[in-house]
Structure 1
Amino acid sequence: MLNRIQAWRERGWSEIDAAAYAHAWQRFGGSVATHPLVIEQLADMAQIPVRYLGWQQNGEVKAAIPTWGRHVALSKDVLKRHGKKGLFDLGNAEIILPAASDAQAPLRHAVRYLSALSQGRFSGLKPQAEELAMARQPEDLSKKFRYNQRRELRLLEEAGGVVRPISDFSSAEIATMYCDLFLRRWEFPATGAERMAEVVERLRSLLIGLVVFLNDAPIAIQLVYRVEALEWVSVEYVNGGVDPQTRDFSPGSVLSFLNTQSAWEDARAHGKPLRFSFGRADREYKDRWCDRVTVFQV
Structure 2
Amino acid sequence: MKNKLIKFAFHWDECSLDEYSKIYAQFGGNTISNPTILNYVSTYYDVNTRYFIDRNECDGYDAAIATWDNVIAGDKKIARKHGINIPIAFDEIIIPQKPNQKKLILPFSTKILSANHTGAVINALTKLNSGREVCIVKPISGKSRQTLNRQLNQFLSKGGKIHSVNSVSTEYFLEIYSDLFFARRNKVAEIEQTSHFLSRVDNILFGSYLSFNDEPCAAQFITKTEDATTVYLDYINSGRNMDLKEFSIGTICMWENIKSAFAYAESVNKKLRFCFGKPTHDYKDRFCIRQKLMRTVA
The alignment's TM-score, normalised by the length of structure 2, stands at 0.89
Rounded Cα–Cα distance in structure 2 between residues aligned with 1:189 and 1:138: 33
Unaligned runs of 5+ in 1: none
Paired amino acid for 1:240: S
Which secondary structure state, in structure 2, belongs to the residue aligned with residue 173 of structure 1?
Answer: helix
Aligned position for 1:244? 242
Matched, 1:209 2:200: no
Task: Report sequence identity in percent.
Answer: 25
Matched, 1:286 2:284: yes
Paired amino acid for 2:286: R
- Segments of 4+ in structure 1 off by > 3 A? 6-11
1:63 deviates by 0.6
Which secondary structure state, in structure 1, belongs to the residue aligned with residue 92 of structure 2?
Answer: coil
Structure with the larger helix share: 1
Query: Cα distance 1:263–1:163, how it changes in 2: closer, same or farther (>3 A)?
Result: same
Contact 2:74 2:93 survives alignment (8 Å)? no
Which secondary structure state, in structure 2, belongs to the residue aligned with residue 77 of structure 1?
Answer: helix
Which secondary structure state, in structure 2, belongs to the residue aligned with residue 123 of structure 1?
Answer: coil
Aligned position for 1:135? 137
Matched, 1:199 2:197: yes
1:77 deviates by 1.7
Rounded Cα–Cα distance in structure 1 between residues aligned with 2:255 and 2:216: 17
Paired amino acid for 1:34: S
Paired amino acid for 1:228: E
Unaligned runs of 5+ in 2: none
Query: Cα distance 1:24–1:144, how it changes in 2: closer, same or farther (>3 A)?
Result: same
1:63-121 alpha-carbon deviations (Å, 9 max, x no partner): 10111122122432223333x1x522323433110011224221132223221111243
Of stretches 87-96 and 244-253 in structure 1, the one that deviates more from structure 2 is 87-96
1:1-45 alpha-carbon deviations (Å, 9 max, x no partner): xx54x6545652111111111111111111112111111123323
Rounded Cα–Cα distance in structure 2 between residues aligned with 1:48 and 1:92: 15
Rounded Cα–Cα distance in structure 1 between residues aligned with 2:221 and 2:108: 28
Contact 1:93 1:238 survives alignment (8 Å)? no
Contact 2:32 2:89 survives alignment (8 Å)? no
Rounded Cα–Cα distance in structure 2 between residues aligned with 1:117 and 1:34: 14
Contact 1:33 1:93 survives alignment (8 Å)? no
Contact 2:75 2:90 survives alignment (8 Å)? no
Paired amino acid for 1:44: T
Aligned position for 1:94? 92
Question: Aligned residues, how many?
Answer: 289
Q: Aligned-pair RMSD on alpha carbons?
A: 2.0
1:285 deviates by 0.5
Aligned position for 2:167? 168
Contact 1:130 1:281 survives alignment (8 Å)? no
1:47 deviates by 4.0
